[in-house]
């Protein structure tokens, strides 16, 4: 599981360096022309440090523990799809959030992975400083390495605040990225079936 081991190498076992972040945020507030000691801002550096500890938790998730005992041998080789997985990530270029949905499919080859693990895999890579293109590929490669399926398909739709509130200010622009492996990449019929499934309106399934 080369990609899983590579992800494990990022673990540091502890949270973000909160004192350093607090000091940096204090310096930023002063650079903005603010009084970092006034009531509304007095605890802002502390709050920001806690926020980053949560938003960047993906660096500290043990990928082996993530999928531990959740890979099962099953005689099933048709498509498995988990769609509309919400994610929240942080753009590494401007340190602004991008949010959206991920749709993931795989064709088992004797093994399936527990349903709850697929959204957790998305979170593993989303909760880091990211670019959407890389995140999409990382999700596909991780699942490929974890269960060695016939193929994996990942489509990610993201709304980026760096383009919504600054720069070009295009409020409704969405980025769509995809990563395909195995049968999804080589078989046009399989790929079209996946894309048709994620295009369907499933609002009637809500309970």
Q: Point out the residues that are catalytic.
A: 91-94, 132, 160, 162
Taking CA atoms, 71 is separated from 38, 66, 81, 111, 115, in Å, by 53, 11, 16, 6, 10
Q: Please state, in angstroms and rounded to a whole number, the distance separating the CA atoms of residues 59 and 36.
A: 30
75: which 2 tokens? Answer: 């005689």
Tell the residue number behind the tokens 């078989």, with chain if given.
Answer: 187
Going by DSSP bridges, is the β-strand pair 111-113/71-73 parallel, antiparallel, or unpaired? Answer: antiparallel
């Amino acid at each position: 599981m080369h990609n899983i081991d590579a992800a494990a190498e990022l673990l540091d076992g502890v949270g973000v360096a909160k004192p350093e972040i607090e000091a940096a945020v204090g310096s930023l507030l002063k650079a903005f022309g603010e009084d970092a000691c006034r009531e509304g801002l007095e605890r802002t550096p502390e709050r920001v440090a806690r926020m980053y500890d949560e938003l960047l938790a993906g660096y500290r998730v043990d990928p082996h523990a993530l999928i531990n005992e959740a890979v099962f041998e099953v005689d099933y080789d048709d498509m498995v799809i988990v769609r509309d997985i919400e994610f929240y990530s942080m753009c590494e270029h401007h340190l602004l959030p991008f949010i959206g949905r991920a749709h993931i499919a795989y064709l088992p080859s004797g093994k399936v992975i527990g349903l709850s693990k697929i959204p957790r895999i998305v979170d593993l890579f989303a909760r880091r400083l990211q670019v959407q293109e890389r995140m999409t590929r990382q999700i596909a490669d991780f699942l490929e390495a974890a269960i060695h399926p016939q193929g994996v398909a990942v489509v990610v739709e993201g709304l980026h605040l760096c383009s919504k509130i600054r720069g070009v200010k295009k409020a409704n622009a969405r980025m769509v990225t995809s990563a395909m492996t195995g049968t999804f990449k080589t078989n046009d019929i399989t790929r079209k079936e996946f894309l048709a499934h994620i295009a369907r309106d499933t609002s009637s399934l809500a309970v």
